[in-house]
Amino acid sequence: MGHIGLMPQRSSSIGGFIVQGRSGKSASVILDAALRLQDAGVFALLLEAVPGVVGRHIAENVRNVPIIGIGAGSAVGGQVLVVNDALGISPKTPKFVRRFAEFGESAQTAIESYVAAVKSRDFPSKEESYLMPRDQFQSLRSQAVPQPPAENPTELPESNTKASTTVEASTAKPAAGNLLAQAILGEDTIHEPPVHAS
């Protein structure tokens, strides 16, 4: 597949993302490239960022391969857009793009909701977690687990302090171990005595 007109991968050498073919001379160069690529045997041509009249002229003169336009007017054989542009995910889009949706806004809202649910431990819920037979979990918990020597850090990293807060009374939030047990066993979880972070 041939690519003519603006080629983004070469934009730095031409001063940026600039519309091509605005003069008769430059449009003639693009048409000549299209004809050469047709003769070379390409199965299609992508024509990017040219005036609509140039797109029409090239489509009328290159008859053996389809011309697919991206910012080349409506007279070419087909159209293509970058999916992130068409769905409104990209924050900025070229003039030739029509944003058929604004998924970027809904995606941002969804990600913020996900982060909040994780931080509050609302996600995953019991319904979103896999279950384990109670006796099998009790068997697992009865096994001795080797522990590394305590390092007695003077200050816990911020990433650990949230999950290592002291549980002093029944009104406090469950420790991480109890949260795991509740997620696995459900409502019949045995609540342990208060746990103190080391």
In tens, the pLDDT along 15-32 reads 677 899 999 999 999 999
Q: What is the pLDDT of residue 153?
A: 59
Place 156 in a pLDDT band, splitting at 50, 70 and 90: low
What is the pTM for the complete model shown? 0.60
Write phi, then psi, for 160 (nearest 5 degrees): -100, -25
Contacts from 151-154 at CB under 8 Å and sequence distance 24+?
A: none
Tell me the average pLDDT of the chain. Answer: 82
Q: What is the pLDDT of residue 124?
A: 94
Burial of 79 (0-12, 13-18, 19+ CB in 10 A): middle
Structural tokens at position 157: 């990293």
Does position 192 have pLDDT exceeding 50, yes or no?
Answer: no
Q: What is the pLDDT of residue 9?
A: 74
Place 168 in a pLDDT band, splitting at 50, 70 and 90: very low
Catalytic residue (one of 48, 60, 105, 128): 48
| Rounded Cα–Cα distance for residues 36 and 38 (Å) | 5
**Mean predicted confidence (pLDDT) in 88-101:** 93
Q: How many CB atoms lie within 10 A of CB 47?
A: 28
Give the sheet arrangement for strand 78-79, strand by strand.
2-5, 45-48, 67-70, 78-79
Q: Is 105 a catalytic residue?
A: no
Q: How many CB atoms lie within 10 A of CB 67?
A: 25
H or E element in which residue 115 lies: helix 103-119
Q: Which residues contact 111 (CB under 8 A, 6 or more apart)?
A: none
- Closest alpha carbon to 70 in 87, 83, 60, 89: 83
- Closest alpha carbon to 61 in 35, 81, 40: 35
- Looking at residue 48, the DSSP 8-state letter turns out to be E
